[in-house]
Chain A
Amino acid sequence: MIYASQSLGDLWNWLLQQFAELCGSLGIPEVIRYMVEKGAYAVGLLVFISLTALVMIYMERKVSAHMQLRYGPMWTGGWHGWSQTIADMIKLLLKEDIIPDKADRWVHRIAPIVIFVPSLIGFLVIPFDKYLIGADLNVGILLVFGFSSIAVLSIFMGGWASNNKYTLLGGLRSAAQMISYELPLVLSVLGVIMTVGSLKMSDIVMAQKDVWFLFTPNLLGFIIYIIAGTAEVNRTPFDLPEAESELVSGYNTEYSGLKYGFFMLSEFTNTFIISAIAATFFMGGWNGPSWLPGIVSFLAKTYLIVFLLMWFRWTFPRLRVDRLMDFGWKFLLPLSFFNILMIAVWVLVKK
């Protein structure tokens, strides 16, 4: 029954069952049923992603404003400028789309798509709630990291194709940075994977029914993950690819209008994915108090991490590129190896 269900996940599951029964009675083939189910989920996901982006941009503006003794947008739409983001989006849509004269036109055009699509795919395997997961793959986490590493390619494409020295430097920086921070990022979640013994997202969430991995020796992994994750989504203190005071705006200097919008949007979706995975892997995902719907507890944890990343952004200065490399390779990577070793011992002892 719907009334008995406490969460969106149960509702979704109930709907699926009803739909399956309906299809069975009408004799609709399995393939079509499957496509309709997944299609509905994808549409829902797209709506969710655009809403998330709106909320996160608004949140970023407000969080930064209040950290900086400002109010941020206060007028647009009435209550605390709630519709400012929508106005910004409309503005971005209406802006002229400029391609520099000597740019590599096609690469310049494709780059924003190449960065945006993988960030959408990442959403597929995020477990928002029990049953509420696009595809509960047995290689779930690998899919996310695999696709998120494509973002490097896009940033480099954008930086190179713009035929501008600042964008080129931004692109080069980002290639170096994201590749070197990918390693500690993946290695830091390896601890959790070893503890659970599965790459499947739902298994990882289920394993944290009693205690979050945050409160186990995996804490070190969490810290490494947050640092490497911040670098992975190019946010301060690791926002070197778009370092404003050095490279004007880095790889997206020459982008305008909707294409710039895609870069900006993907920054926020990537931030969300990184935070969502942190919530899934270390903070118990949709596990929470029984009176709270799973999705609420999941989103609360995710936004907590998002807030943490924003907090970083508006208080920390920016690292220098060589120090960033030193930090990644000489400190974070050995530390994550140590973390794996420690977790391995812990897992053995626990057995």
Chain B
Amino acid sequence: MIEQLKNSGFEEMTLNMGPQHPSTHGVLHLLLKMDGEVITEARPDIGYLHRGMEKIAEKRTWGANIALSDRWDYIASMSNNFAAVLGPEKLMSITVPKRAEYIRVIMAELNRIASHLIFFGTYGIDIGAFTPFFYAFREREKILDLYESVCGARLTYNYFRIGGVSADLPEEFIPGVKAFINYFRPKLKEYDTLLSTNPIFMDRTVGVGAITKEEAIDWALSGPNIRASGVNFDLRKDDPYSVYSEFDFNIPTGKNGDCWDRYMVRMNEMKESARIVEQALEKLEPGDIMAKVAKVIRPPAGEIYTHVEAPKGELGVYCISDGSTMPYRYKVRGPSFVNLAILQKMLKGLRIADVVAVLGSIDIVLGEVDR
């Protein structure tokens, strides 16, 4: 059909979506070849936010790299911190005190909620509903307030340290988290009323951009994206790090791997994260928050690939140490980077309205894609 049209003088339209476009979540550039509104070829063009993180990391001490890690996935910096400290800790065989471990888990899970809230809000905007955004940010604000009380920052926390965390919890933090969890649970129902079961929303997302199980594994998707396709793959269970093996929580999975499944997996994950936070609060006991670590961090020569389950998926750090104060190689495997790659395959045959639905449902942060 398209061939015939081409021969008769019609041509495909090339649409540059981005890097400045309201719904490419930053500076993503999509090159779309289109036949009317239907996409025949899509090519994501990334790198507009490339800051050479991996090169910079080779010239910074191990400790300084934690501050750098805040800038990968800048809406889930706690998880980045987590990934950044695990490697050197394991190389130096540091045992992190229990209290610090629980604090880390609380922070990471709260961050998961915050990150998924941003997804919920921006996904609403992608689909055309503006209001959920403000609802999501109302709740996220409370999490940021909690973070601010602990580490003084609201976006780039730089809270984890090799061997523990930088500061103990202030007095008001634990009641604050408990109050937040109690406040947050009913809000999830509100979201379902507002967006999740809205017929138009379901019409836009159910069956759109479906990824099969095999494809999801083949493209090495991770996080909610692979779980929505029915693969029960969560590093918190499959390769437990920190103290995650002590908690009782479920891994929500989807069935069809379409946009709605990816959305629902995230919504359900927030519930599970709230459960983990509650359990961690119960287990939290007074104690040290830092292990005894030398002032100058000099991991022995060696290499390690550590990964954490960040809100977006598997955040891996492959670090090679040559025994000096700075990493020899510091490779960051950003989940957004890997998840985004499948876009070029998914978009074929969809409409331009589906582009934003699919892109939003993958939930990328360009800071992590481009690093």
In-complex A–B contact (CB below 8 Å): yes
Chain A positions near chain B (C-beta within 8 angstroms): 64, 67-70, 165-166, 169, 173, 236-237, 239-240, 243-248, 314-323
By secondary structure, the B interface counts as helix
Given contacts A245-B128, A321-B37, contact A316 B135 (CB under 8 A): no
Contact across chains for A317 and B15 when beta carbons are under 8 A apart: no
Q: Which residue of B lies closest to A70 (CB)?
A: B134
Residue B294 interfacial (CB < 8 Å) = no
Given contacts A244-B22, A245-B127, contact A317 B356 (CB under 8 A): no
Residue B50 interfacial (CB < 8 Å) = no
Residue B204 interfacial (CB < 8 Å) = yes
Contact across chains for B353 and A320 when beta carbons are under 8 A apart: yes
Residue B198 interfacial (CB < 8 Å) = yes
Report which residue of B23, B127, B195, B353 has the largest number of chain A beta carbons within 10 angstroms of its beta carbon. Answer: B353
Contact across chains for B201 and A165 when beta carbons are under 8 A apart: no
Contact across chains for A314 and B355 when beta carbons are under 8 A apart: no
Report which residue of B128, B131, B352 has the largest number of chain A beta carbons within 10 angstroms of its beta carbon. Answer: B128
**Which of A244, A314, A318 is close to B200, meaning CB atoms less than 8 Å apart?**
A318
| Residues on the B chain within 8 Å of A67, using CB | 131
Given contacts A317-B124, A317-B204, A321-B353, contact A69 B194 (CB under 8 A): no
Chain B positions near chain A (C-beta within 8 angstroms): 13, 15, 21-23, 37, 124-131, 133-135, 138, 194-195, 198, 200-201, 203-204, 351-356
Contact across chains for A314 and B131 when beta carbons are under 8 A apart: yes
Bound form: Cα–Cα A244–B135 in Å? 20
13 contacts between A and B (CB under 8 A): A70-B134, A236-B128, A236-B129, A239-B128, A245-B125, A245-B356, A246-B352, A248-B22, A316-B129, A317-B128, A317-B201, A319-B200, A322-B351
**Which of B15, B37, B128, B355 is close to A318, meaning CB atoms less than 8 Å apart?**
B128
Q: Which residue of A lies closest to B194 (CB)?
A: A315
Given contacts A169-B37, A169-B352, A315-B194, contact A320 B129 (CB under 8 A): no
Contact across chains for B134 and A315 when beta carbons are under 8 A apart: no
Distance in Å from the Cβ of A21 to the closest Cβ of chain B?
Answer: 56
Given contacts A317-B195, A317-B201, A321-B37, contact A246 B353 (CB under 8 A): yes
Contact across chains for A245 and B22 when beta carbons are under 8 A apart: yes
| Residues on the A chain within 8 Å of B200, using CB | 237, 316-319
**Which of A166, A245, A320 is close to B203, meaning CB atoms less than 8 Å apart?**
A320
**4 interchain residue pairs of minimum CB distance:** A318-B128, A245-B23, A68-B134, A317-B127
Contact across chains for B138 and A237 when beta carbons are under 8 A apart: no
Contact across chains for A243 and B130 when beta carbons are under 8 A apart: no
| Residues on the A chain within 8 Å of B203, using CB | 319-320, 323
Distance in Å from the Cβ of A210 to the closest Cβ of chain B?
Answer: 37
